[in-house]
C-alpha cells in the first residue's frame, strides 16, 4: 500500500490548441487547483499545442496511456460521440456557461458507452459561434453564397442558411481570409483577440449558431491507481471546473469584443428577430435528422433532444445576465 | 531516471545507431522515438502513438506541398528546362574562373525558386551540373559543394517550405514572409557565389576557365528561358496577390508546367513516367524524414527536455541579443542533429514565444530561421542536400561533398549578422508592402 | 525465393502506378479548386480530399523507395567497415526495418479499425475515411515485404552491387 508515501504522483495532461486559448487556460487552472487541493501530492505536467498528442488522437491516446489526461473537441470527430452531438445542434444557447452545464448534465444522465474506457474529468463548450466577416452581415440576405470558414456542426448550419461553408482548421484561417479564399470566420468570438482576427475581420454578427463541445478524460487504469483522497479532489472538481470554464470564456468574449472595439473600431451587429426565427426554421431539420440518426443507433433520440431543450431552458434562465 | 535526462540519453542513443549501423536516418529517428516513448510511458502507449502519428503525418494538408513542388521540378527537369537554363547561364558566366560553379549556383537559385525543395534541386542539379563540371576538370569538392550549397537555396527563395511551415505554425502571413525573404535570399546568393571566387583564389586549379561565348550566342540562349519565367511569374503572382494556398500554387504550377511541356513537345512519355516516379520516391524520402523527426520529437516532448531546456534558456538573465544567439546556436546544433525542417517543427512552439517576448519582429525572425535551417541542410552529419548529391554523383564520396560544402557555412552566418544589423532595410522594407 | 522476389517487385510496381495516379489526382483536385474558386463555386471538401490523396501518394511509394534504397543512410563510418561486418549490419538493418514497419503497419490498421468501429466520419465531407487509413497501412506492408526480400538476399549472400 503506497497511499501513505510522500512520493508525488505525476500526471501528463495533453491539450491541442495553443497555450493562450481558453481550453489551455482551463487546463492550467485545473492543474493548479488539483496541485493545491492535494497539498502537492499530485503534480500535473501540461502539454499544450499538440506537443504530446495531435488533436484527433487525444482521446485514443489517453485510452492507450500516451497521456494520462487529455482535452479534446468531440465535435471535430463526428459520429464518434453521438450524445454530445445533441449539444452542438442549433438549439440557441446564448452562453458557454449554460451550454457547458447542459452538456455536463446530459453526459451525466446518459453515461454514454463511448466513454466507458475512460474516466470523465470535466466537460465544457466554447461560446456560441457567430459570424465574423470582412463585410457587414446585417441580414440573412447578406450571407447568400458568402464563403465562410467553419468547423464541426458549422458546415451543415451554414449550408442550410444559404452561406458557403469551407471546412479548415483555425490555424489556416488567417491566411485564407487575407487571400480572400474565405470572407469570414464562423466561430466563437474570443478568437477576435486570441488570434487577432479583429485585425482583418472588422464586423461581427451575433447569431448564437452552435457550440463546439469539449471533454477532458483520464486513462482508466491511471484513475484506478490513484489514492482515494486524490480521487475525491478530482471528482469534486468535475462540475465546478465545467462552470468555471464556461464563465471564464463568456467573460473573455466580452473582454475580447471590448478590446477589438478599442483597438480596431470593430463593429458588433445583432440580427433581427425575423432573421433569428428564420435561422431556427432553416436549421430545424438538422434536429429531426439527428433524432432519426441516433434512434437508428438504438439511443432515445427524442428524449435526448427533449432533455437538451429543458436543460437549455433551465440554465439559460439561471445564468441570465 | 528523471524525464529530461532520458531525453539526453535518447539523443545519444539515436546518434550511436545513426552512425554505427546502416539503418536509414528516418527509420532510426522513428525507432528511437518509439522505444523512448515506450520507456517513459508504456509499450502500449507507444504503439498507440506511432500508428496515429504516422497517419496524421501522411494525411497532413500542409505537407502535400512537398510532392507538388517536387513534381514541378521534375517536369522542368525532364522537360529539358534545366538544361537550357544551365547552358544559357553558362554562356554568360562560363569564361570566368569557377564560372561553372557560379553558373550552377545561379541555376540552382532560379530553379529553387520554382521548385521550393532543396532535395529536388540537389537531385536534378547534380545530374545536370556535376558531369558538366567534370568535363572541364573541376575539382569534385568544388563541383559537389556548389551544387549542395546552391540547392539549399531551394528552401530559402520563395516558394519556401520552411517559410510555409513557419507561417502555418505562427499564424504569420505567408505573403509577408515571402516578400520579406527577397533581400535576404539575394544577400545569401551573392555571398555563396562570392565563396566560389574565394575557393578559386585559394585553389586556382579547382575551377579552370571555360571558353568565352560571343554576345550573339549569349542573347540567342535567352529565349529558351521564357517558359521558366512565365511559370515563375504566374506562381509569384498567385502567391503574392492571389487566392491560393501554397499547395494550390504548387499544384497549379505543376499543371502549367505539364501543359507547357506538352504544348512544346518537350516531355516524352518516358520522361513523364520518370518525373512521376522520381517525385514519388523523393517525396516518400522527405515524408519519412519528417515522420521520423516528429516521432523523435514526440519522445523528447514526453521527457519534457525541450520545455525544461527552453524554460532554462528563457530564464537566463542575459541580454536579449545573447539569448538570441543561443537560440540560433540551438537551431544550428538541432540542424546537425536532425533534419532542419523537422527540427523547426519540434522547436518552433518553444522558441517562438521566447523570441516574440524579446520583441523581435515575427517576419524578420522567420527569415533568420529560414537561413539557419537552410544552412542545416548542408551541415554534417545529417545535411540532407549533401546526401542527395553524394547519392546522385556516384563517384563522389559523401565526405568530399561535406568538405566541399563546409566552405559556404560562413556565408550563412554573415547573412544573419547583416539581418541583425539592418532588420528594416533587409526584411521589413518589402514585407510591409504586403497588407 | 526468386518468385517471391519477383512478386514483391511486381507489387511495388503496381503500388507505384497507383501512387502516380494519386499524385496527378492531387495536382488536378488542387488546381481545379483554384479554378472553381475563381468562379466563386469552391469545393468545400477540397482540403480534406487533398489530404487523403496525399496520404495515398506517399504510402504507395514506400515499397518502391525501399526497393531502390532511396532512404538516406548516414554511412560516414559504416562505409569503412570490413566486408563481413558490413554484411552483418545489412542484415541488422533489413531485419529491424522489416519488424519495425510491420508493427507500424499493424498499428495504422488498428487506427483504421478504431475509426471504423466508432463510426467516426471526416470533419467536413462527413464521409467514411478509414479506407484511406487502411491504404496507408497497406503501403507500410509493402515496405516490410521489400525489407524481407532484402533480408533474404543478404542471408543467401546474393550478389551485391
Ligand atoms: Na524555393
Ligand atoms: Na549509418
pLDDT at B13 over 90: yes
Is C161 domain-assigned? no
Contact between A319 and A98 (Cβ < 8 Å): yes
The residue among A175, A182, A191, A225 with the most chain B CBs within 10 A of its CB, best to mutate, is: A175
Calculate how close chain A gets to B365, using CA atoms only, in Å.
19
Nearest-angstrom CA–CA distance, A184 and A36: 42
Q: Which range is least confidently modeled, A49-58, B5-14, B69-78, B304-313?
A: B304-313
Is C63 domain-assigned? yes
- List CB-based neighbours of ion ligand 2 within 5 Å: C 74, 78
Q: Would you state the pLDDT for residue A1?
A: 36
- pLDDT tens for residues C115-127? 898 888 887 788 8
Contact between B400 and B214 (Cβ < 8 Å): no
The two counts, helices (H) then strands (E), for chain A are 11, 11
B63 Cβ under 8 Å from any chain C Cβ = yes
Domain span at residue C92 reads 2-156
Select from B170, B146, B140, B176 the least CA-distant residue to B158. Answer: B176
| 3-state percent breakdown (helix, strand, coil) of chain B, nearest 5 | 80, 0, 20
* A4 — pLDDT class (breaks 50, 70, 90): very low
Is C135 domain-assigned? yes
Interface of C with A (CB under 8 A): 37, 40, 42, 44-45, 47-48, 111, 114, 118-126
Residue in A closest to B174 by C-alpha: A175
Return the percentage of chain B with pLDDT > 90, whole number: 18
Is C50 domain-assigned? yes
Mean pLDDT: which of B1-5, B116-120, B270-274 is highest? B270-274
* A2 — pLDDT class (breaks 50, 70, 90): very low
Angle at B246 between CA C56 and CA C55, to 5 degrees: 10
- pLDDT tens for residues A144-154? 888 899 887 88
Sheet holding A147-150: strands in order across?
Answer: A164-167, A147-150, A184-187, A130-133, A203-206, A267-270
| Residue A226 or B264, more confident | A226
Residue C15 Cα to ligand 1 midpoint, Å, equals: 29
B239 Cβ under 8 Å from any chain C Cβ = no
- pLDDT tens for residues B16-60? 998 899 998 889 989 999 999 999 888 988 898 899 889 988 998
B65 Cβ under 8 Å from any chain C Cβ = no
- Across the interface, whether the CB atoms of C27 and B71 are under 8 A apart is answered yes
Q: Which range is least confidently modeled, A227-231, B166-170, B320-324, B354-358?
A: B166-170
- pLDDT tens for residues A265-277? 999 999 999 999 9
Return the percentage of chain A with pLDDT > 70, whole number: 96
Q: Which chains, if any, share at least 3 CB pairs under 8 A with chain A?
A: B, C
Nearest by CB to residue C55, choosing from B31, B59, B243, is: B59
DSSP β-bridge partners for residue A47: A14
Q: Would you state the pLDDT for residue B338?
A: 57
Global pTM? Answer: 0.80
- Across the interface, whether the CB atoms of B59 and C59 are under 8 A apart is answered no
Burial class (CB in 10 A: 0-12, 13-18, 19+), B285: buried
pLDDT at A241 over 90: yes
Nearest-angstrom CA–CA distance, A296 and B208: 79
Mean pLDDT: which of A216-225, B125-134, B307-316, B329-338 is highest? A216-225
Contact between B350 and B307 (Cβ < 8 Å): yes
DSSP β-bridge partners for residue B162: none
A195 Cβ under 8 Å from any chain B Cβ = yes
Q: Would you state the pLDDT for residue B282?
A: 81
Q: Which residue, chain included where needed, has cell 467553419?
A: A150
Helix (H, G, I), strand (E, B) or coil at A10: strand
Return the percentage of chain A with pLDDT > 90, whole number: 70
Going by the DSSP 8-state scheme, the letter that residue A203 receives in this structure is E
- Across the interface, whether the CB atoms of C124 and A155 are under 8 A apart is answered yes
**Distance linking the first and last C-alpha atoms of chain B:** 51
- Across the interface, whether the CB atoms of C123 and A164 are under 8 A apart is answered no
Whole-number average pLDDT of chain A: 90
* C158 — pLDDT class (breaks 50, 70, 90): low
Whole-number average pLDDT of chain B: 82
Q: Would you state the pLDDT for residue A109?
A: 95
Q: Would you state the pLDDT for residue B228?
A: 75
Q: Which residue, chain included where needed, has cell 468574449?
A: A253
Is C151 domain-assigned? yes
B-chain residues within 8 Å CB-CB of C71? 24-27, 285, 288
- pLDDT tens for residues A149-199? 988 788 889 999 999 888 777 777 776 787 677 889 999 999 888 877 887
- pLDDT tens for residues B147-198? 999 988 877 776 666 776 677 667 677 777 888 888 898 899 999 999 998 9
A219: which 3 cell numbers?
486513462
B41 Cβ under 8 Å from any chain A Cβ = yes
- pLDDT tens for residues A123-141? 999 999 999 999 999 999 9
Nearest-angstrom CA–CA distance, A17 and B341: 22
Q: Would you state the pLDDT for residue C27?
A: 94
Find the mean pLDDT for residues C4-32: 95
**Total domains in the fold of chain C:** 1
B320: which 3 cell numbers?
536579449
* A3 — pLDDT class (breaks 50, 70, 90): very low
B111: which 3 cell numbers?
530553379
- Across the interface, whether the CB atoms of A57 and B298 are under 8 A apart is answered no
Contact between B312 and B48 (Cβ < 8 Å): no
Mean pLDDT: which of A15-24, A236-245, B87-96 is highest? A236-245
Ligand nearest to the CA of B156: 1
Nearest-angstrom CA–CA distance, B432 and B99: 36
Contact between C63 and C109 (Cβ < 8 Å): no
Select from B273, B229, B271, B270 the least CA-distant residue to B253. Answer: B229
Residue B403 Cα to ligand 2 midpoint, Å, equals: 18
A-chain residues within 8 Å CB-CB of B45? 61, 64-66
Nearest-angstrom CA–CA distance, B342 and B376: 11
* B120 — pLDDT class (breaks 50, 70, 90): low
- pLDDT tens for residues C77-128? 888 899 999 999 999 999 999 999 999 999 999 999 988 988 888 877 888 9
pLDDT at B111 over 90: no
Amino acid at each position: 500500500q503506497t497511499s501513505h508515501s510522500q512520493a508525488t504522483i505525476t500526471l501528463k495532461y495533453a491539450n491541442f490548441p495553443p497555450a493562450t486559448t481558453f481550453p489551455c487556460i482551463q487546463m492550467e487552472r485545473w492543474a493548479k487547483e488539483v496541485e493545491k487541493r492535494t497539498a502537492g501530492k499530485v503534480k500535473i505536467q501540461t502539454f499544450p499545442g499538440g506537443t504530446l498528442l495531435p488533436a484527433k488522437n487525444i482521446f485514443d491516446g489517453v485510452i492507450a496511456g500516451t497521456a494520462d489526461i487529455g482535452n479534446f473537441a468531440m465535435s471535430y470527430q463526428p459520429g464518434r460521440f453521438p450524445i454530445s452531438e445533441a449539444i452542438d445542434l442549433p438549439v440557441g444557447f446564448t452562453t458557454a456557461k449554460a451550454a457547458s452545464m447542459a452538456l455536463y448534465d446530459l453526459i451525466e444522465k446518459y453515461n454514454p458507452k463511448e466513454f466507458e474506457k475512460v474516466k470523465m474529468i470535466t466537460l465544457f463548450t466554447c461560446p456560441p459561434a457567430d459570424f465574423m466577416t470582412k463585410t457587414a452581415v446585417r441580414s440573412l440576405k447578406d450571407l447568400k453564397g458568402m464563403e465562410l470558414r467553419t468547423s464541426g456542426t458549422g458546415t451543415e448550419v451554414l449550408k442550410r442558411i444559404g452561406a458557403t461553408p469551407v471546412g479548415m482548421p483555425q490555424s489556416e484561417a488567417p491566411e485564407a481570409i487575407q487571400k480572400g479564399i474565405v470572407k469570414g470566420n464562423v466561430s466563437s468570438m474570443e478568437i477576435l483577440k486570441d488570434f487577432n482576427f479583429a485585425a482583418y475581420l472588422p464586423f461581427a454578427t451575433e447569431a448564437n449558431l452552435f457550440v463546439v463541445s469539449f471533454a477532458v478524460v483520464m486513462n482508466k487504469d491511471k484513475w484506478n491507481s490513484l489514492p482515494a483522497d486524490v480521487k475525491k479532489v478530482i471528482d469534486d472538481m468535475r462540475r465546478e471546473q465545467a462552470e468555471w470554464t464556461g464563465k471564464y470564456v463568456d467573460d473573455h468574449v466580452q473582454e475580447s469584443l471590448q478590446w477589438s472595439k478599442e483597438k480596431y473600431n470593430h463593429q458588433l451587429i445583432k440580427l433581427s428577430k425575423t432573421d433569428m426565427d428564420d435561422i431556427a426554421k432553416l436549421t430545424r431539420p438538422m434536429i429531426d435528422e439527428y433524432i432519426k440518426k441516433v434512434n437508428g443507433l438504438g439511443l432515445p433520440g427524442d428524449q435526448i433532444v427533449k432533455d437538451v431543450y429543458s436543460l437549455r431552458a433551465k440554465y439559460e434562465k439561471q445564468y441570465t445576465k | 531516471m528523471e524525464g529530461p535526462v532520458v531525453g539526453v540519453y535518447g539523443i545519444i542513443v539515436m546518434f550511436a545507431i545513426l552512425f554505427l549501423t546502416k539503418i536509414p536516418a528516418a527509420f532510426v529517428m522513428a525507432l528511437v522515438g518509439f522505444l523512448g516513448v515506450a520507456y517513459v510511458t508504456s509499450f502500449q502507449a507507444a504503439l498507440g502513438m506511432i500508428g496515429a502519428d504516422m497517419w496524421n503525418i501522411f494525411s497532413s494538408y500542409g505537407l502535400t506541398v512537398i510532392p507538388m513542388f517536387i513534381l514541378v521540378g521534375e517536369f522542368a527537369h525532364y522537360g529539358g528546362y534545366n538544361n537550357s537554363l544551365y547552358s544559357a547561364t553558362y554562356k554568360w558566366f562560363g569564361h570566368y574562373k569557377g564560372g561553372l560553379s557560379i553558373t550552377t549556383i545561379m541555376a540552382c537559385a532560379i530553379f529553387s525558386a520554382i521548385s521550393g525543395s532543396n532535395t529536388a534541386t540537389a537531385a536534378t542539379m547534380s545530374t545536370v551540373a556535376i558531369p558538366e563540371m567534370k568535363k572541364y576538370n573541376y575539382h569534385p569538392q568544388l563541383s559537389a559543394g556548389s551544387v549542395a550549397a546552391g540547392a539549399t537555396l531551394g528552401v530559402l527563395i520563395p516558394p519556401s517550405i520552411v517559410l510555409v511551415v513557419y507561417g502555418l505554425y505562427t499564424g504569420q502571413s505567408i505573403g509577408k514572409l515571402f516578400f520579406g525573404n527577397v533581400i535576404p535570399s539575394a544577400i545569401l546568393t551573392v555571398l555563396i557565389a562570392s565563396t566560389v571566387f574565394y575557393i578559386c583564389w585559394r585553389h586556382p586549379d579547382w575551377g579552370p576557365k571555360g571558353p568565352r561565348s560571343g554576345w550573339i550566342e549569349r542573347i540567342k540562349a535567352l529565349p529558351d528561358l521564357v517558359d521558366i519565367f512565365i511559370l515563375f511569374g504566374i506562381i509569384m503572382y498567385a502567391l503574392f496577390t492571389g487566392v491560393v494556398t501554397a499547395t494550390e500554387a504548387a499544384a497549379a504550377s505543376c499543371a502549367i508546367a505539364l501543359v507547357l511541356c506538352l504544348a512544346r513537345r518537350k516531355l516524352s512519355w518516358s520522361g513523364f513516367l520518370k518525373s512521376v516516379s522520381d517525385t514519388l520516391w523523393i517525396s516518400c524520402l522527405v515524408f519519412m524524414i519528417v515522420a521520423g523527426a516528429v516521432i523523435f520529437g514526440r519522445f523528447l516532448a514526453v521527457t519534457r527536455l525541450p520545455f525544461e531546456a527552453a524554460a532554462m534558456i528563457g530564464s537566463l538573465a542575459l541580454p536579449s541579443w545573447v539569448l538570441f544567439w543561443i537560440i540560433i546556436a540551438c537551431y544550428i546544433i538541432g540542424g546537425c542533429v536532425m533534419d532542419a525542417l523537422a527540427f523547426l517543427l519540434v522547436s518552433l512552439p518553444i522558441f517562438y514565444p521566447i523570441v516574440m517576448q524579446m520583441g523581435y519582429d515575427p517576419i524578420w525572425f522567420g527569415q533568420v530561421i529560414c537561413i539557419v535551417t537552410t544552412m542545416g541542410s548542408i551541415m554534417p552529419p545529417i545535411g540532407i542536400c549533401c546526401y542527395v548529391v553524394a547519392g546522385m554523383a556516384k563517384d563522389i564520396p559523401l565526405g568530399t561533398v561535406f568538405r566541399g560544402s563546409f566552405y559556404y557555412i560562413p556565408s550563412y552566418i554573415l547573412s544573419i549578422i547583416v539581418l541583425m544589423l539592418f532588420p528594416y532595410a533587409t526584411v521589413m522594407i518589402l514585407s510591409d508592402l504586403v497588407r | 525465393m526468386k518468385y517471391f522476389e519477383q512478386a514483391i517487385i511486381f507489387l511495388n510496381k503496381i503500388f507505384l502506378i497507383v501512387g502516380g495516379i494519386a499524385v496527378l489526382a492531387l495536382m488536378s483536385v488542387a488546381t481545379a479548386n483554384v479554378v472553381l474558386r475563381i468562379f466563386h463555386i469552391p469545393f468545400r471538401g477540397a482540403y480534406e480530399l487533398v489530404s487523403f490523396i496525399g496520404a495515398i501518394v506517399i504510402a504507395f511509394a514506400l515499397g518502391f523507395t525501399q526497393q531502390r534504397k532511396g532512404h538516406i543512410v548516414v554511412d560516414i563510418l559504416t562505409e569503412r567497415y570490413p566486408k563481413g561486418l558490413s554484411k552483418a549490419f545489412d542484415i541488422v538493418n533489413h531485419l529491424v526495418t522489416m519488424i519495425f514497419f510491420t508493427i507500424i503497419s499493424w498499428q495504422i490498421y488498428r487506427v483504421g479499425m478504431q475509426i471504423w468501429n466508432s463510426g467516426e466520419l471526416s470533419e467536413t465531407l462527413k464521409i467514411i475515411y478509414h479506407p484511406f487509413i487502411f491504404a496507408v497501412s497497406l503501403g507500410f506492408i509493402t515496405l516490410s515485404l521489400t525489407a524481407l526480400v532484402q533480408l533474404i538476399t543478404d542471408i543467401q549472400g546474393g550478389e551485391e552491387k
